[in-house]
Structure 1
Amino acid sequence: MSDPGHHTLHSIHKGHVHHGWNNAFPPALTIAPGDSIEFETLDASSGQLNRSSTAADLEKLDLARVNPVTGPVFIDGAKPGDALKVTVLSLRPSGWGWTGNIPGFGLLTDQFPKARLHHWNYDPALLPAMYGPGGRVPLRPFTGTIGVAPAEPGLHSIIPPRNVGGNMDARDIAEGCELYLPIEVEGAIFSVGDTHAAQGDGEVCGTAIESPIDVALKFELVKGANLRMPRYVTRGPVTDHFDKKGYEVTTGIGPDLMAGARMAVSEMIDLLSKRYGYEPIDAYMLCSVCADLRISSIVDVPNWVVSYYFPRIVLE
């Protein structure tokens, strides 16, 4: 513990992971507001996959062990109704990751029912990572799962995000970001994991570049904030790693946003397959790590417009 005038950097080893949220989990560490922690993380498979794994290993994945998070951390003085301010100080990537099409999981699971696994070996200095016939994906690491324990007792699945954060897969919770989480239990009970080297907004196949990454975070309290949902502040541009050469954009138009998202992604898969020679399943997985879903129009009843932006820098 640190005194009020001196803030400490702690560390939590990747051995301190848990699966699911539970406000009764004993803390791995107790800290004071203002302290920082470096977390070691496991990949989203909890170490079930490694550099030599195959699609057959992906099919055998124990889904009860996916999305491990490192922690939990008890923050002294945190009370229900406060907000936990988490500043992302740094992310140190490992150089290896994977993207998988997991049967039964993803936006187009009905179209892509078979397991597929792609390994990424990248330069931790954040040069682009290679994919398929000539694709080069710019990397921008972030924390996929980051949150605090819910007030409701018992064990809760880690897969769905919730009002106290968790598996938000929000690409912009990256270095420099300031995240504010609603606190529902004493001590907040914070954990982080599911780190990604790159992802498109939407993470459409269900996985990004799933990669073990060490994360340094600073913790502060905002007393009586009474947030209903997480909010965050970015410290600069959020798409400049993709913007350099412009975008290919497909759309889905109709009365249902989910159907529109599915159509926009299907159209992009069709474009990439026909123009660049990707297998449709590989185009789908590539989209998941670099292309962004956007709601372009949601007021012109009865039809809404969903657009899908694929960065041309990946293919040029």
Structure 2
Amino acid sequence: MYHIRRDHSHLRWSRKIPPVLTISSGETVTFDAIDSSNGQINKDSTATAVSSLDLSTVNPVFGPIHVRGAEPGDVLKVEVLDLETADWGWSAIIPGFGLLADEFPKPSLQIWNVDKNQGYVSYKDTIHVPLRPFLGCMGVAPATDEDLSLVPPTDAGGNMDCRDLTVGSVVYIPVQTQGALFSCGDGHAAQGHGEVCGTAIETAIKATLRFEVCKGLSWVTSPHYENPPRVLKGQDSAEYAVMGIDGDVLEATKKATRGIIAWLTHFKGLSQSEAYMLTSVAGNFHLVETVNVPHYIVSMSLPLGVFRSNG
């Protein structure tokens, strides 16, 4: 088995970055990835660490690896075999970042304890979010000679932040350049669909991935994935949801988020910042309705099983 170390990191998508490893189709690689702050936040950090973040070094990815036989037009099949998080993680409100950035201008930091044996991530022992690790970033080098930012995803993958890409998932990424030049990183212990405050439960992660070059899958022009059946440990099916209704989908999304934050502060006693971060790591967006124009409906739901106390 091959291994990618923490010092095998880079901060842009580029086919000009030389590979640190060359493998054959069917082989397995482990990745040791530091958290998305690139080590700038630790267990003892406070909100001042968020204020002083060097954003030019955040969200590193690890690699790239060259896969023999991978050519433009092929598809790289990536099987997620194992994901091991650290025993802690963090969430933050970063000024100027997130869905409601204008409404949350002050930095805030929340440190979570990861209990791997019990299968949850806790805060103040009153909120238990089921442990559901995944890699926020998985992608291949672009076809262009231009260096691309790590932040926005593309059809070549990248910073997709899709919580469904966890152990047992199979991801298909269209190859853009010879050898694919795959990299990954941005470990998360848990995240809601939407990641509304801009962070999940960020954590260092060790990932084990298997790669296969697939020919003739011409319909895969953006990332595809498949998942096995799953039962989420420690999570009941009850949920509370708020609908956001507006002629603009983005504004409807904001309305739903504001609504769930208001419910959390009123009924669960959380501060505005705590509610915003909990919504980011455990809440889930659904596009409920699109045909009754001119209005759209987006709901934000929160599983009630994350609360461990009455109220």
Contact 1:196 1:209 (8 Å CA) reproduced:
yes
Distance (whole Å) between structure 2 residues aligned to residue 243 and residue 228 of structure 1:
35
Deviations 1:203-230 (A, max 9, x none): 0000000000100000001113232210
Contact 2:119 2:234 (8 Å CA) reproduced:
no
Q: Secondary structure at the match of 2:153?
A: coil
Counterparts in 2 of 1:74-113, with a 5 A limit? 74-113=66-105
Q: Secondary structure at the match of 2:101?
A: coil
Q: Alpha carbon RMSD of aligned pairs, Å?
A: 1.3
Deviations 1:5-31 (A, max 9, x none): xxxx21111111111101110101000
Aligned with residue 277 of structure 2, among 280, 285, 300: 285
Aligned with residue 232 of structure 1, among 217, 221, 225: 225
TM-score normalised by length of structure 2: 0.96
Aligned with residue 34 of structure 2, among 39, 42, 64: 42
Unaligned 5+ runs, structure 1? 1-8
Deviations 1:244-288 (A, max 9, x none): 141001010111110011000100000000001100111000111
Deviations 1:170-212 (A, max 9, x none): 0010000000001110000000100100000000000000000
Q: Secondary structure at the match of 1:180?
A: strand
Contact 2:163 2:191 (8 Å CA) reproduced:
yes
* 1:278–1:133 Cα change, 3 Å: farther
Distance (whole Å) between structure 1 residues aligned to residue 234 and residue 288 of structure 2:
19
> Does 1:169 pair with 2:173?
no
> Does 1:117 pair with 2:109?
yes
Instruction: Report the CA distance between 1:127 and its aligned residue.
Output: 2.5
Aligned to 2:264: 272
Q: Quote the sequence identity (%).
A: 43
Aligned to 1:260: 252
Distance (whole Å) between structure 2 residues aligned to residue 109 and residue 216 of structure 1:
35
Distance (whole Å) between structure 2 residues aligned to residue 301 and residue 110 of structure 1:
28
Instruction: Report the CA distance between 1:242 and its aligned residue.
Output: 7.0
Q: Which amino acid aligns with 2:132?
A: R
Contact 1:126 1:140 (8 Å CA) reproduced:
no
TM-score normalised by length of structure 1: 0.94
Aligned to 1:65: 57
* 1:173–1:231 Cα change, 3 Å: same
Length, aligned pairs only: 307
Distance (whole Å) between structure 2 residues aligned to residue 104 and residue 284 of structure 1:
14
* 1:243–1:295 Cα change, 3 Å: farther
Q: Which amino acid aligns with 1:181?
A: I
Distance (whole Å) between structure 1 residues aligned to residue 39 and residue 73 of structure 2:
36
Q: Which amino acid aligns with 1:270?
A: A
Distance (whole Å) between structure 2 residues aligned to residue 126 and residue 190 of structure 1:
33
Distance (whole Å) between structure 2 residues aligned to residue 37 and residue 146 of structure 1:
13
Instruction: Report the CA distance between 1:124 and its aligned residue.
Output: 2.8
Deviations 1:37-81 (A, max 9, x none): 010001001111111222111111111111111100000010000
Deviations 1:83-134 (A, max 9, x none): 0000000001111111010000000011101100111121233532222471
Distance (whole Å) between structure 2 residues aligned to residue 46 and residue 295 of structure 1:
33
59-68 or 122-131, which deviates more: 122-131
* 1:126–1:202 Cα change, 3 Å: farther
